[in-house]
Chain A
Amino acid sequence: MDTLYLSLALFLLLTLLVGMWRIFQGPTPADRMLAAQLFGTTAVACLLLLAQALEEQALRDVALVFALLAVVTAVAFVKRAWTAKDDH
């Protein structure tokens, strides 16, 4: 089972890397931010898999905190960096 967890964690990390291309491509700021959001979720999945494989409870707490902070950065993006008002 552990092999499955670890190989999936590696697989997810690789998909995260692949997704980074969207940060570079854009074209809108939202696209870049969405990619960062996906990283957050992927990292949560990675951490949960690692927590199970390495039997480290603390990693689940780290995943919990990741989930919370993903919200904050996303809301900061929508309310500050990319509001409905300005025009580019």
Chain B
Amino acid sequence: MIIDIVTGVLLLVGALFFLAGTLGLLRFPDVYTRLHALTKADNVGLGLIVIALMLQADSWFVVGKLLLIWILILLAGSGVAHLVASTAQKRGLKPWKK
């Protein structure tokens, strides 16, 4: 019962982070800030959902698979964020200043 409540809360907060990331992608003023928003959804949003589902998993194999998926997205997300940001800088895109 407790586990179900914790799962529910984690899932809701995770989904909220996804919403925040998407809104950030839409509303932030330049590539760099949007990248920032995107990686929050990737890391934290997916992370919380994965943790919540790990609590509900019925075997260690499933737990391992969920963990692997999250780690892959983390790796890919951070790597790509770095690549996109450095390419943006080399192409002369100026960060937004107020």
Which residues of B sit under 8 angstroms from A68, Cβ to Cβ?
Answer: 72
Evaluate whether A78 and B73 lie within 8 angstroms (CB atoms) in the complex, with A15-B19, A84-B87 already known: no
Which residues of B sit under 8 angstroms from A74, Cβ to Cβ?
Answer: 76, 80, 83-84
Evaluate whether A28 and B73 lie within 8 angstroms (CB atoms) in the complex, with A52-B56, A60-B65 already known: no
Q: How many chain B residues touch the partner (CB < 8 A)?
A: 45
- What is A's interface to B at a CB cutoff of 8 Å? 1, 4-5, 8, 11-12, 15-16, 18-19, 21-22, 28, 30-31, 33-35, 37-38, 41-42, 44-45, 48-49, 52, 57, 60-61, 63-64, 67-68, 70-71, 74-75, 78, 82-84, 87
Q: How many A-B residue pairs have CB under 8 A?
A: 121
B residues 67-94 in Cβ contact with A at 8 Å: 68-69, 72-73, 75-77, 79-80, 83-84, 86-88, 90-91, 93
In the complex, are the beta carbons of A38 and B83 less than 8 A apart? no
In the complex, are the beta carbons of A84 and B72 less than 8 A apart? no
In the complex, are the beta carbons of A38 and B22 less than 8 A apart? yes
In the complex, are the beta carbons of A18 and B14 less than 8 A apart? no
Which residues of B sit under 8 angstroms from A67, Cβ to Cβ?
Answer: 69, 72-73, 76
CB distance from A51 to the nearest CB of B (A): 8
Which residues of A sit under 8 angstroms from B73, Cβ to Cβ?
Answer: 41, 44, 67, 70
Q: Choose from B7, B53, B56, B80 the contact partner of A78 (Cβ within 8 Å).
A: B80
Which residues of A sit under 8 angstroms from B26, Cβ to Cβ?
Answer: 18-19, 21-22
